[in-house]
A = this chain, B = another copy of it.
Amino acid sequence: MKETTAAILIIGDEILSGKTEEKNAKFLISELRDLGVSLRLILVISDDVDQIGAAIADLSKRFTYVFTSGGVGPTHDDVTLLGVCKAFGAEMHRHAELEAALRKYFGDKVQETHLRMADVPQGSTFITLPELRWPILSYQNVYIFPGVPEFFRQKFSAIKERFRASEFYLKLIFTKQDEFDIADHLTQVAKDYPQAAIGSYPVFDRDDYRVKVTIESKDKQVTENAFNMLISLFDSSHIVRCE
């Protein structure tokens, strides 16, 4: 079974310079998790066409889905779609239906800066939904979302079911042993169950446990077996609880 994977590409100087707090990757992390999609990479870069193009070309090859945030709009620093053109060797063209919709929406006040919103990479796909004023743009496996968090959420939520994959099975062990004492057990179980992801997270600010161990896979039985093996290896008197 091939896993469904994803990368998030956040585009925006405002995030890197601390002018705006990043919210879309944060939102998408939990959404993708609930959808059973394995998020493998998050990249935050500047409003730079060459970097955006290189990132999209690379990520679209490596992951099932790429979700971009930001850099769509009418100003000079909105260059995400130019980046898509670079990534796929596509030409920008003015999309007739979108232009017509913009002319209708802005009426007499319509200017060239409005119509530029109809300039999209040739070969783009539009996802049009009754609840959305403007369509969602995608190019192959790359989904292009606006950076403004309320619009990002609205658009992603409207199409998220199409990304749904099989669910994750997760088990947790909280122990008072420290990482040094369980390291070899973890290595052994990780080796015996390569399909399971075994994580170990020490905490230093709590009295009740020292390490949280996570066991996760897409196969319920694999998760259970790896969990049971760890339980049998750990010092049972130090296990605080399991989930």
Contacts and interface: CB of A to CB of B under 8 A. Distances in A.
B200 A75 contact: yes
A142 interface: no
A64 interface: no
A185 to B, nearest CB: 10
Contacts of A187: 75-76
A89 B166 CA distance: 39
Contacts of A184: 113
Contacts of A182: 75
Contacts of A214: 14, 19
A10 B113 CA distance: 38
Interface stretch (A36-44, A119-127, A133-141, A218-226): A36-44
Given A73-B179, A111-B180, A43 B43 contact: yes
A196 to B, nearest CB: 12
A96 to B, nearest CB: 20
A180 B42 contact: no
A13 B26 CA distance: 14
Interface of A: 10, 13-22, 26, 29-30, 33, 38-46, 73-77, 111, 113-114, 116, 148, 150-151, 168, 179-184, 186-187, 190, 197-205, 214, 216
